[in-house]
Amino acid sequence: MDSEVAERGIDAADVDAEAQGAGDAAEFEEDGRADIALDFVIDVLAAMGMDCTVDLLENEEEDPPEEIRLEIEGKDAGRVIGKKGQTLSALQFLANRVINRPGKKRRHVIIDAEGYRQRREDTLSSMARRLGKQAVEEGKIITFEPMNPQDRRVVHLALAKFPGVVTKSDGEGEARRVQIIPVRR
């Protein structure tokens, strides 16, 4: 192959780079669903009369390539978030349903509005640590209000390495809650 590459005047490094790139493309290939999700969210917000813009974000290095990240900004972004992020979660759920059809590899749409998800995660983590400390000091089980799966996950992760407590989800469906349980020494 090297002699063929040399005869055609092609640099061997270019061939190696293309061969490596072909392996990456086999793992994940852009299928246009990110644009479908973007168009869907723009259309829904327009139908709702919201004064917002929606941007398709490039994935961070640590993000899975099949993840689709959208950011909503603008005057009505707060209304798009809704009470405790319920409207934002509903929009994310619908966008996931639109792009994930049977027979296709699942892709996950994550929609944020003006950094709400990160602020919510920070708030929940600090509250979980504060309540974890309280559970250890008082020796009592502390139970959170019902939470969605994403919020419960944040609490579990915040207390995973917290000394003196374990966490457990209890309940069914919308009534599922996180319990912080002090560990006896």
| Predicted pLDDT at 2 | 45
pLDDT at 84: 83
Beta sheet of 142-143, edge-to-edge order:
142-143, 177-182, 165-170
What does the pLDDT look like over 73-118, one tens digit per residue?
999 999 999 988 889 999 999 999 999 988 889 999 999 999 999 9
pLDDT at 64 over 70: yes
pLDDT of residue 27: 64
Opening angle at CA 176, ends 175 and 178, nearest 5: 135
What lies within 8 Å, CB to CB, of 143 at 6+ separation is: 170, 177, 178, 179, 180
**What pTM value is reported for the model?**
0.69
Q: How far is CA 43 from CA 40, 50, 53, 133, 165, in A?
A: 5, 10, 11, 46, 46
